[in-house]
Amino acid sequence: MDKCCSNQSGAITHPLAPLTANEISKAADIVRADPPYGDDTRFETIELMEPGKTELADFKPGDPIKRIARVNVFSAVKVSVTKLVISLDDEKIISSQEMPGKRPMIQLEQFVEIEDIVCADPTFIEACKKRGITDMSMVCVDPWSAGNFDKPGEEGRHLAHVFAWLRKRENSNFYANPIEGLNAVVDLLSKEVIRVDDYGGAPIPEAEVNYEADFFDEKDFQPKAKPINVVQPEGVNFTLDGNKITWRNWELVIGFNARESLTLHDIKFNGRPIIHRASIVEMTVPYGSPDNGHYRKNVFDIGEYGIGKLANSLELGCDCLGVIKYLDVTLNTMNGEPWTIDKAICIHEEDSGLLWKHMDFRTERTETRRGAKLVISTICTVGNYEYALYWYLFLDGMIEFEVKATGIINTAACLPGEPGKYAVEVSPGVAGQIHQHILCARLDMAVDGNANSAVECNTFAEEPGPGNPYGNAYFERETVLASELAAARRANPPTQRYWKVVNPNKLGKTGRPVGYKLDATHCVTPFIHPESPSGKRAGFIQNHVWFTAYDAEERFPAGDFMNHSDGKDGLPDFIKQDRSLENTDLVMWHVFGLHHQVRMEDFPVQPCVTTGFKLMPMGFFDGNPAINLPPETNKASCPADA
């Protein structure tokens, strides 16, 4: 029984607890009793089908817990996916829906298989020989999703499009040695290379640019620094009951699945609901180069791979510092077997600096309070990139999400000194292309309940005249976004635009609706054309905020099945219903990210760059909720010369 899903007795303690290893095995066995594709049935995802909101609201500790699984299976020989809903209690399939022409996520087990298929292909081997490569064991092939480019011969297939690099010696950084202009297209069903695209191009850079410690002599390292230790001699301030966590004024349930990775549920402050469910539901990474095969680089790291399956097993004292609680996660293999990633989720506390302070200059009396935050995180490796995903909860009621992007930039070869207009040379003959990381958060809001409204706020300067004789007047105007089509919105810095979700039925002490504000500080401008092959598939990036009426099946902004998708069944289609958003159960979708013009400092391993957003209480409290924190002085702090 998985540690993150149960108490010490092994019993499921909450309806939102992720499926255990036993439950995953049970779901797979139920499918195998009547597999949709016979012996060719493979498993994409086996995950909890989360209970409805009414069922969750009625749940009391000790109540019986009904367990239902969502299972997506696919055919190993034809392009088709079947969506199943399974009752684990009754051991039967409740519903089945075949989706002909849909393709599953590329599975983790297929990564190495794709490399083996490519490196054994005679045409690819011959192209490598032309470049002076005779040892194919040193060729490294990354499996990229193929997109949808209407290429002849690709119709009706399930494909991967690959890029290649050359490893100079054992454990060397192969991204320093790109094999430019050589791409293979692999059929994941027939397990064959259907085409090798050889564009030619710059020679393979010769120099090694390594990062592993074993490649450094002791004299090459900087002098060792004195440690900065995080100690909590009295223990942590949070408690876990299964996967429900309580910390200071906060409580919530931690979830995890193969596609989204971390999910947060039933988030409350002092017992008051704020968010029913929060997660990052998509990330697309469009590259800006049309050269050679690089135009196909527009992966959907969540929808096409499943970022949860790519989670790291975290290391104490390296990935996580301080007094740490880890949770393991259990997912499924292609064959339906459970497999566990140890220490995939890290939970700890951090000092968050000054929370509030004031000194009365007349009396010189000072009150100071320091803040703290609860950190819930995971780190996922998607090929060359690492994405460290952090959810923070603060004592003043703020919620923050942050991504730290690190790892190795995707590289191409160029003639030394000639990277072209779409890239920056980071090492002689090695180029990093301009690109973006565009993410989408799905925030199922529940501000003091499920009856919420969406509001846009803009600031305007008063026109000069009798009402503004000194030219200093400006004001904020609130607009209720009444329906979905009106609520597809973009950032507007000239009016300091922001959005909030309010509960019109709950008023604060000044008579205004309680609410939470989206602090959208990392909106990005997309540069791929919306009618381009990649732009059609990523319609959600054309707005920074979308609001939709709640529908449990509208889970992903670009559709359920992203591989070779055509852009349908995502947010642009959801809002065509133009449902009302006033005083109702609504979902806020926020699109944000990184615009990455590569720097030389990003190589060989990129220092963390960050993006994210905040949700800040706005009228949710009748004052500063942290005003009554008791005064205290940290006794462990001391002068540096002590």
Residues annotated as catalytic (active site), given as ranges: 301, 385
Q: Which helix (H) or strand (E) holds 370?
A: strand 365-382
521/543 Cα distance (integer angstroms): 14
Q: What angle do CA 115, 117, 121 make, to 5 degrees?
A: 115
Burial track 518-541 (b if 16+ CB lie within 10 A, e otherwise): bbbebbbebebeeeebbbbbbbbb
Matching residue, tokens 């846009």: 456
DSSP 3-state assignment of 333?
coil
- Give just the sign of the alpha carbon dihedral 143, 149, 151, 157: positive
Q: Which residues pair with 520 in a beta bridge?
A: none
Instruction: Report which DSSP code applies to 29.
Output: H
Rounded to 10 degrees, what is the CA torsion of 596, 599, 603, 609? -50
Burial track 217-252 (b if 16+ CB lie within 10 A, e otherwise): eeeeeeeeeeeeeeeeeeebebebebbbbebbbbbb
| Contact status, residue 373 vs residue 392, Cβ threshold 8 Å | yes
Show the tokens assigned to 101.
Answer: 């022409």
Count the neighbouring beta carbons within 10 Å of the beta carbon of residue 510: 7
Residue among 590, 559, 287 at smallest CA distance from 412: 287
DSSP 3-state assignment of 235?
coil
Residue among 246, 271, 253 at smallest CA distance from 14: 253
- Judged by phi (left if over 0) then psi (alpha if -120 to 50, else beta), residue 485 lies in alpha
189/447 Cα distance (integer angstroms): 47
DSSP 3-state assignment of 343?
strand
CA distances, 483 to each of 1, 489, 580 (Å): 45, 12, 4
Show the tokens assigned to 311.
Answer: 């989670």
Matching residue, tokens 């540069």: 527
Matching residue, tokens 């119709």: 155
